[in-house]
Structure 1
Amino acid sequence: MRVFRGYSRSVPAPVALAIGNFDGVHRGHAALISRLVMVAGESGLVPTVLSFEPHPREFFAPASAPARLSTLREKLELLADCGITQTMICPFNRAFASLTAEQFIEAVLVRGLRVKHLVIGDDFRFGSGRAGDFSLLQAAGERYGFLVEAMGSVSVDGERVSSSGVRRALAAGDMAHAGRLLGRPYMIDGQVVHGQKLGRQLGFATANLRIKHNPLPMTGVFAVEVAGLADRLLPGVANLGVRPTVGGTRPLLEVHLFDFDRDVYGAHISVRFVHKLRDEQRFPNFDALKAQIAADAAAARAFFSL
């Protein structure tokens, strides 16, 4: 995928465009992108996404901004999996936030992205004060020569699919429902780093991933499947959180893979959360922690029928 940072340099060819945060790239996003990719193929345009970094709510109200479902890298990988070949990431700062709707259309959409077909969600608003809407885009399209279409919402079991809905399911520990909204298990990607080797001392060696999600969308102990280390998914058990028993303060993902013994430091892996076993908790000593880890591993093995 080709990635442009900012809109000061125009893309090389006209595009079919979708705009949004696309946090988690859930089934609603996937439906919109599927339509975009089809339009791009029929029209000879480049299927492109415009997104923002940071999330606008992180800029306007950082203390109350929601937990991110995906890092920027994860989001780009998921968009590429959906068929997007080009993305423009605009820094969401005070200057960008102050663009009027008309300035956004002219500077970003027309000059920067050379848009010819725009596909948006039915609730999309843009520009300073969220003054821009579908009708304004339609009028601008007539002036500048691009088409605009709005996609309706996608529902699963009567619920409108949204990033907020995915966050609620994860916070409740309902991995199955989160997976239905996403269209796949919730996953976190990262590079395996050296840790304190505590897991090995307790008899359960772990692959450790430093987590960029802050705050975390969920914490706890999970049955997981790991991609990136073999030609199949590897089952395991994982703790996602701050490890209160050992005085941890930074989020860490620790994954113990079943029947696996290989040095994987530096590997980039994807951890898929398929079932929550329990909440993260503090234990009075290492013996109690070790006993609980053994129980967690047994529970995860039972979940996978191993």
Structure 2
Amino acid sequence: MRVFRGHSRPVPASVVLAIGNFDGVHLGHAALVKQLAEAAARLQLAPTVLTFEPHPREFFAPESAPARLSTLREKLELLTDCGVSQVMISPFNAAFAALTADQFIEQVLVRGLRVRHLIIGDDFRFGRGRTGDFALLQAAGQRLGFTVEAMGSVMLDGERVSSSGVRRALAAGDMAHAARLLGRPYIMDGQVTHGDKIGRQLGFATANLRIKHNPLPMSGVFAVEVGGLGDSPLPGVANLGIRPTVGGTRPLLEVHLFDFDRDIYGAHISVRFVHKLRAEQRFPNFDALKAQIAADAVAARAFFKL
């Protein structure tokens, strides 16, 4: 994948473009990318995505911004899996937020991305005050030489597939429904780092990943599958949260892999959350924590039928 940051320098060649936040890259996003790929093949142009960093709501109202489903790296990996060959990441800052709808079209779409064909979701709004819409894009395209199409919502059993819907499912601990909306289990990935070795003291060595999702879309103890360490995912049990029993304050993902003893420090792994076992909780002492971790491991093994 080719990644461009900012729109001050134009991309090398004209593109077919889809625009969105693509947080989580769910089934609706996948359908949009499929439509993008078909149009790009028809026009023999590179299928390209324009996305924003940070999420616009994080810029305008950081105190009430929604939980991030995917980090920028995770988003790019998921878009690559969907077949996107180019992504432009537009920094969402004060200067960008101040662009009028017409300035966005002329500076970002036409000059920066050299757009020939544009595909947007049916609820897409843009420009200062969110004044830009499909009709404005169509009129501008006739004047500036690009065409526009809108894609309707993707529905699943009567529910509109959306990042908000995925967040609700994760917050409720309904991993199966989140996976239906995403088209795969919910995933977090990262590099295995050295921790405080408390897991070893408790008899359960863990692979520790510092998590950049803040606030977390969910927390608790989960049955998980871990990719990146072999030909097939490995089963395990994971705690995602701040670890209140040991006085933790930063989000951490701790994964205990079953029947596994390799040194994997520095490895980049992906953790698939397939079933929630319980909420994160504070225990009165290490003995109570150790007993619960053992029970969690038994429950996760039972889930995987190990």
TM-score range, shorter chain: over 0.9
Q: Name the counterpart of 1:247.
A: 247
SS in 1 for 2:3: strand
Which aligned runs of 4 or more in structure 1 are off by greater than 4 angstroms? none
Q: Name the counterpart of 1:276.
A: 276
Matches within 5 A, 1:121-132: 121-132=121-132
SS in 2 for 1:282: coil
The one-letter code sitting in structure 2 at the alignment partner of 1:217 is P
Offset of 1:156 from its aligned partner? Answer: 1.0
SS in 2 for 1:193: coil
Q: Name the counterpart of 2:95.
A: 95
Supply the distance in 1 between the matched residues of 2:29 and 2:194 (Cα, whole angstroms). Answer: 35
The one-letter code sitting in structure 1 at the alignment partner of 2:215 is P
Identical-pair percentage: 83
Supply the distance in 2 between the matched residues of 1:29 and 1:212 (Cα, whole angstroms). Answer: 22
Offset of 1:42 from its aligned partner? Answer: 1.4
Supply the distance in 1 between the matched residues of 2:283 and 2:16 (Cα, whole angstroms). Answer: 54
Q: Name the counterpart of 2:50.
A: 50
The one-letter code sitting in structure 2 at the alignment partner of 1:148 is V
User: What are the superposed Cα offsets for residues 26-75 of structure 1, whole Å, 9 maximum, x if unpaired?
Assistant: 00000000000111011111110001111100010000000000000000
Aligned residues: 306
Supply the distance in 1 between the matched residues of 2:214 and 2:164 (Cα, whole angstroms). Answer: 16
User: What are the superposed Cα offsets for residues 259-295 of structure 1, whole Å, 9 maximum, x if unpaired?
Assistant: 1000000000000000000000000000000000000
The one-letter code sitting in structure 2 at the alignment partner of 1:166 is V
Offset of 1:166 from its aligned partner? Answer: 0.2
Offset of 1:188 from its aligned partner? Answer: 0.0
The one-letter code sitting in structure 2 at the alignment partner of 1:88 is M
Supply the distance in 2 between the matched residues of 1:69 and 1:238 (Cα, whole angstroms). Answer: 18
SS in 2 for 1:25: coil
Q: Name the counterpart of 1:201.
A: 201
The one-letter code sitting in structure 1 at the alignment partner of 2:81 is D
Q: Name the counterpart of 2:35.
A: 35
The one-letter code sitting in structure 1 at the alignment partner of 2:214 is N
Q: Name the counterpart of 1:109.
A: 109
Supply the distance in 2 between the matched residues of 1:113 and 1:209 (Cα, whole angstroms). Answer: 36
Asked if 1:145 is matched to 2:145, the reply is yes
User: What are the superposed Cα offsets for residues 90-112 of structure 1, whole Å, 9 maximum, x if unpaired?
Assistant: 11111100100000000000000
Supply the distance in 2 between the matched residues of 1:148 and 1:199 (Cα, whole angstroms). Answer: 54
Supply the distance in 1 between the matched residues of 2:226 and 2:67 (Cα, whole angstroms). Answer: 23
Structure 1 gap segments, 5+ residues each: none
Asked if 1:133 is matched to 2:133, the reply is yes
The one-letter code sitting in structure 2 at the alignment partner of 1:51 is T
Q: Name the counterpart of 1:189.
A: 189
Q: Name the counterpart of 2:120.
A: 120
The one-letter code sitting in structure 1 at the alignment partner of 2:3 is V
Q: Name the counterpart of 1:303.
A: 303
Q: Name the counterpart of 2:25.
A: 25
SS in 1 for 2:192: strand
The one-letter code sitting in structure 2 at the alignment partner of 1:195 is G
Offset of 1:144 from its aligned partner? Answer: 1.1
Structure 2 gap segments, 5+ residues each: none
SS in 1 for 2:188: strand
Supply the distance in 2 between the matched residues of 1:302 and 1:42 (Cα, whole angstroms). Answer: 49
The one-letter code sitting in structure 2 at the alignment partner of 1:136 is L
Q: Name the counterpart of 1:80.
A: 80
The one-letter code sitting in structure 2 at the alignment partner of 1:238 is A
The one-letter code sitting in structure 1 at the alignment partner of 2:2 is R
Q: TM-score, normalised by structure 2?
A: 1.00
Supply the distance in 2 between the matched residues of 1:262 and 1:206 (Cα, whole angstroms). Answer: 11
Q: Name the counterpart of 1:7.
A: 7
Supply the distance in 2 between the matched residues of 1:243 and 1:151 (Cα, whole angstroms). Answer: 43
Supply the distance in 2 between the matched residues of 1:41 and 1:58 (Cα, whole angstroms). Answer: 35
Cα RMSD (Å): 0.4
Supply the distance in 2 between the matched residues of 1:52 and 1:198 (Cα, whole angstroms). Answer: 38
Supply the distance in 2 between the matched residues of 1:244 and 1:131 (Cα, whole angstroms). Answer: 45
